[in-house]
Amino acid sequence: MSFDYDQYIRGGKLPHIWCPGCTYGIVFKSLLRAVDSLKIPKDDIALVSGIGCASRLPGYVDWNTLHTTHGRALPFATGLKMAKPDKKVLVVSGDGDATAIGGNHFIHACRRNIDITVIVLNNFIYGMTGGQHSPTTPSGHIATTMPYGNVDPNFNIPDLAKGAGASWVGRGTAYHVPALDKLIIEAMNHKGLSVLEIINACPTTHGRRNKFKNPTDMLLWMKDNSLPITAFDKLPPEKTAGKFPTGVLFKKEAPEYCETYYGLVEKLKKPKEGRA
């Protein structure tokens, strides 16, 4: 039986704003399937976003949803989570939203290891504002603010998340959909901050200017240039040059922020020993 997306989609809020060929719709459906399989009641989950094409996703899904300011989704989400630590909080962000304007919030959320899942939809460009370069735009690519080819060095989002202290880090693509469903489930099951980068295609403002004739070419690029981490790790560097690993890239056990904080609260509540 095919999956019933309607149970999660807000009646009357479609059509969505995304362009034909944009892969955000693929990720959207994957997210709904993943959360459905986790059996999280609709009232117990909040989806928070900043500003950008990626950040429009919450408007379409029938959970508690919050569309905030550019780059600031994580601190808004941190407020929700700290006030209601037993609820699920998800953040969806663009590459610019998460790592440029929101870069400081991103690394500090990772450091705190608060139990939030951050999904970064990396389309290598600023989509909503029309194709300016982002911290992930590949070297040499044309962007409206890099008309002679991008000269800015990049962030590698999983490395950034790991370095900042996130306890679960993964990467998927909009091409490898069944694997993506599993990655979202695993990220959300993890206790602590989980960061999932999802490689996406923006044919309108990125592909069109960078020799991808059509959206399919962009999906094929994802297929040809990604490797599951298990295979990636076994190959010599010359075989992996220019390719990126996918799957669960890193995970560790670390104290979760709400548990640590409210653990302290519990301790303070107990009367001190030896006193009347």
Partner 1 sequence: MGTLKLLQGNEACAEGALYAGCTFFAGYPITPSTEVAEFMARRLPQIGGAFLQMEDEIAAMAAVIGGSLAGAKTLTATSGPGFSLKQENLGFGMLCEVPCVVIDVMRGGPSTGVPTGPSQSDIMQCKWGTHGDHPVICLTPGYVQEIFSETVRAFNLAEKYRTPVIVAFDEIIGHMREKIEIPDKGVIPIENRKRPTVPPAEYMPFDETKGDVPPMADFFSGYRQHITGLNHASDGFPVNASPRIHTDELRLLRKIEANKKDIIRNEEYLLDDAEVAVFAYGVSGRSGKNAVEQARAAGIKAGLFRPLTMWPFPEEQVAALASRVRAIIVPELSLGQIILEVERCTKGRCKVEGIYRVDGDPINPTQILDKIKEVK
Ligand X SMILES: Cc1ncc(C[n+]2csc(CCOP(=O)(O)OP(=O)(O)O)c2C)c(N)n1
In 10 A of CB 140, how many CB atoms? 11
Site string for partner 1, 175-214 (x = CB under 8 A): ----------------------------------------
Contact 170, 247 (CB under 8 A): yes
The verdict on 44 binding partner 1 (CB under 8 A) reads: yes
Residue with tokens 């500003």: 51
What is the end-to-end Cα distance of the chain in Å, rounded? 65
If one asks whether residue 265 binds partner 1 (CB under 8 A), the answer comes out as: yes
Q: Which does 173 bind (CB under 5 to 8 A by kind): ligand X, ligand SF4, partner 1, none?
A: none
Binding residue for partner 1 (CB under 8 A) from 42, 223, 234, 239?
Answer: 42
Q: Which is nearer to ligand SF4, 194 or 204 (CB)?
A: 204
Give min distance, CB of 120 to ligand X, in A: 9
171: Cβ contacts below 8 Å, ≥ 6 apart: 157, 158, 183, 196, 197, 198, 199, 244, 245, 246, 247, 249
Q: How far is CA 81 from CA 97, 114, 129, 164, 207, in A?
A: 20, 8, 30, 20, 37
Q: Which does 22 bind (CB under 5 to 8 A by kind): partner 1, ligand SF4, ligand X, none?
A: ligand SF4
Interacting span for partner 1 (CB under 8 A) from 29-37, 44-52, 180-188, 244-252: 44-52
Determine the Cα–Cα distance for residues 265 and 39; give it in Å rounded to an integer: 30
Mention every residue, 6+ apart, whose C-beta is less than 8 A from residue 83: none
Residue numbers at the binding site for partner 1 (CB under 8 A) = 10, 13, 42-44, 46, 48, 58-59, 62-69, 72, 74-84, 87, 104-105, 108, 261, 264-265, 268-269
Residues at the site binding ligand SF4, with contacts judged by CB under 6 A: 18-19, 22, 24, 53, 123, 127-128, 202-205
